[in-house]
């Protein structure tokens, strides 16, 4: 193992993504589509607005009847009635009259403008219908009217296949009469933690045990990447039990993620269990942290294939390898682009940094804005050991130090991969 050449990050990721296609579609109610990816283009079923309607509370008029209106010389018109939203006009607008109209109400035939209530002598808000109204300003034809079809026509393309649905997109689909949408199925992910030293979070620990933070952390990362997660708990370092639990996970999911047991220690059984159930590679990837990485494929009873990840047991290494390798895969399965989906910015190092030779480092940093408007500064969030979760929790991003650079001085410009800050 020590003589195995280090793979570049891009080589490992290309091997992981080779042949991976989005999962089949499923149909869900439009209101449950937030964050999902459209499997087919969505076309409007309704014309919006379906009829001309008022954009203001005011009075529907014929613009020719009030063309001479000014604040100094108002035009007075009898008020022939009222139209509220959700109600049909009961008659066309008679020339020389006005109709009180509320926002969203259908414009009556014969009207070609709306005068806002603020440009009349009528009181704003709840008020009795007046017999007459003074128009204080001449509206242009079409003023304050939303034209029928001014938003979309029935049949228009609203969102293309592959679009990720936002709350605004869901609102547009619903308004256009779409109740059900075909979306790419979420990847089903099983999370297992291996190691006799682990206990469930919240369980009292003795001197030899630690909480299973990796299982909780990786589940949160998988959900952030759009997966449906089954947390399968802790598996002891017992080969028969590990293989049985892995077989259960493989049968029920698209991706299995384990943490721990992928190096070359005497109890590192995950790689052997993966190999017994499918095909697996163990790589040494030229990154820091997270050098050991197991990846493979295993057949499912239903004829499909489950993808297998064995991530390092050190919590920061598990986090970083998930971001770099698992997240792009889950996004691809879910119908998104096969990248990590993270923004990257440039920042100025606030202090000198060093790293291992020949490996691309991902340093946990806190970003601070430059009052002068230049690039933000990046300072180390704390210790950079692969076991130090406190620095990871504080970090705004991961500063990327290339393989060929072993040290950088304060003031050097680096690329920073931005992390979630309190949002999934």
The arithmetic mean of pLDDT across residues 321-345, rounded, is: 94
352 in Cβ contact with 363 (< 8 Å): no
Q: Do 214 and 100 share a structural domain?
A: no
Query: Where among 301, 333, 365 does a domain terminate?
Result: 333
Within a domain: residue 423? no
End-to-end CA distance of the chain: 37
Q: Which helix (H) or strand (E) holds 270?
A: helix 270-277
By the 8 A CB rule, do 101 and 107 touch?
Answer: yes
Q: Which pTM value belongs to this model? A: 0.86
The answer on pLDDT for 423 being more than 60 is no
pLDDT band of 1, cuts 50, 70, 90: very low
* Number of structural domains found in the chain: 4
- Residue 207 placed within a domain: yes
pLDDT of residue 3: 56
In this structure, is residue 4 part of a structural domain?
A: no
Q: Do 291 and 205 belong together in one domain?
A: yes
For residue 401, with 0-12 CB atoms within 10 Å meaning exposed, 13-18 middle and 19 or more buried, which class applies? Answer: buried
- Same domain for 299 and 404, yes or no, is no
Within this chain, do residues 206 and 278 fall inside the same structural domain, yes or no?
yes
Closest CA to 190 of 151, 157, 218, 156: 218
95-106 per-position pLDDT tens digit: 999 999 999 999
Does 202 share its domain with 266? yes
d(CA 157, CA 44): 7
One domain, residues 360 and 408: yes
Averaged confidence pLDDT in the chain? 92
User: Residue 42 sits in a domain of what CATH number?
Assistant: 3.90.105.10
Q: What is the mean pLDDT of residues 232-240?
A: 85
Whose tokens are 């509370």? That residue is: 57
From residue 322, alpha-carbon distances to 20, 203, 319, 343 in Å are 17, 26, 5, 16
In a domain, 338, yes or no: no
Is residue 33 pLDDT above 90, yes or no?
yes
- Shared domain for 74 and 199, answered yes or no, is no
Q: Is 140 exposed, middle or buried (0-12, 13-18, 19+ CB in 10 A)?
A: exposed
State which residues form the domain around 101. Answer: 53-146
Residue 326 lies in a domain: yes
- Would you tell me how many other CB atoms lie within 10 Å of the CB of residue 202? 8
Do residues 74 and 136 touch, judged by C-beta distance below 8 A? yes
Residues 196 and 320 in one domain: yes
Phi first, then psi, for residue 327 (nearest 5°) are -60, -45
212: CB partners within 8 A, 6+ apart: 193, 198, 199, 200, 201, 233, 234
> What CATH number does the domain containing 407 carry?
2.40.340.10
Domain boundary residue among 305, 333, 361? 333
State yes or no: pLDDT of 236 exceeds 50: yes
Q: Does 2 reside within a domain?
A: no
Give the confidence band of 265 by pLDDT, cuts at 50, 70, 90: low
- Measure CA 165 to chain center: 8
* CATH code of the domain containing 74: 2.170.190.11
Domain boundary among 146, 167, 198: 146
Looking at the fold, whether 34 and 163 belong to one and the same domain comes out as: yes
Q: Do 71 and 92 lie in a common domain?
A: yes
What integer pLDDT is reported at residue 266 of this predicted model?
44
**Are residues 317 and 380 both part of a single domain?**
no
- CA-atom Rg of the chain in angstroms: 31
Residue 263: CATH number of its domain: 3.40.980.10
Domain co-membership, 215 together with 322? yes
């Amino acid at each position: 193992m020590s003589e195995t050449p280090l793979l570049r990050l891009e080589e490992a990721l290309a091997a992981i993504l080779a042949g991976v296609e989005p999962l089949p579609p499923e149909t869900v109610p439009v209101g449950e589509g937030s964050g999902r990816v459209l499997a087919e283009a969505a076309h409007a079923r309704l014309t919006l607005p379906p009829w001309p309607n008022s954009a203001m509370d005011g009075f529907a008029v014929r613009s020719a009847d009030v063309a001479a209106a000014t604040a100094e010389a108002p035009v007075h018109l009898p008020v022939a009635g009222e139209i509220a939203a959700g109600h049909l006009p009961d008659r066309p607008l008679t020339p020389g009259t006005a109709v009180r109209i509320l926002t969203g109400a259908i414009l009556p035939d014969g009207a070609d403008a709306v005068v806002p209530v603020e440009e009349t002598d009528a009181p704003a808000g709840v008020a009795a219908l007046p017999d007459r109204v003074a128009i204080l300003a001449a509206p242009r034809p079409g003023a304050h009217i939303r034209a029928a079809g001014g938003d979309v026509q029935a049949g228009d393309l609203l969102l293309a296949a592959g679009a990720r649905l936002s709350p605004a997109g869901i609102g547009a689909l619903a308004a256009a009469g779409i109740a059900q949408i075909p979306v790419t199925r979420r990847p089903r992910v099983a999370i297992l933690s291996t190691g006799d030293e682990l206990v469930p979070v919240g369980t009292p620990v003795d001197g030899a045990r630690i909480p299973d933070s990796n299982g909780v952390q990786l589940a949160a990362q998988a959900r952030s990447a759009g997966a449906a997660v089954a947390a399968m708990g802790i598996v002891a370092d017992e080969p028969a039990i590990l293989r049985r639990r892995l077989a259960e996970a493989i049968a029920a999911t698209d991706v299995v993620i384990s943490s721990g047991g992928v190096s070359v220690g005497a109890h590192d059984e995950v790689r052997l269990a993966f190999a017994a159930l499918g095909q697996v590679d163990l790589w040494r990837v030229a990154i820091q942290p997270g050098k050991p990485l197991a990846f493979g494929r295993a057949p499912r009873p239903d004829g499909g294939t489950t993808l297998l990840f064995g991530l390092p047991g050190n919590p920061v290494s598990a986090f970083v390898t998930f971001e770099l390798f698992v997240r792009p895969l889950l996004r691809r399965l879910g119908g998104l682009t096969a990248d990590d989906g993270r923004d990257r910015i440039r920042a100025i190092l606030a202090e000198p940094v060093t790293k291992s030779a020949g490996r691309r480092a991902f340093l946990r940093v806190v970003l601070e804005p430059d009052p002068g408007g230049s690039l933000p500064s990046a300072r180390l969030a704390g210790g950079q050991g692969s076991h130090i979760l406190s620095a990871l929790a504080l970090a705004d991003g991961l500063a990327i130090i290339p393989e060929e650079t072993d040290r950088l001085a304060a003031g050097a410009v680096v690329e920073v991969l931005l992390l979630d800050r309190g949002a999934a």
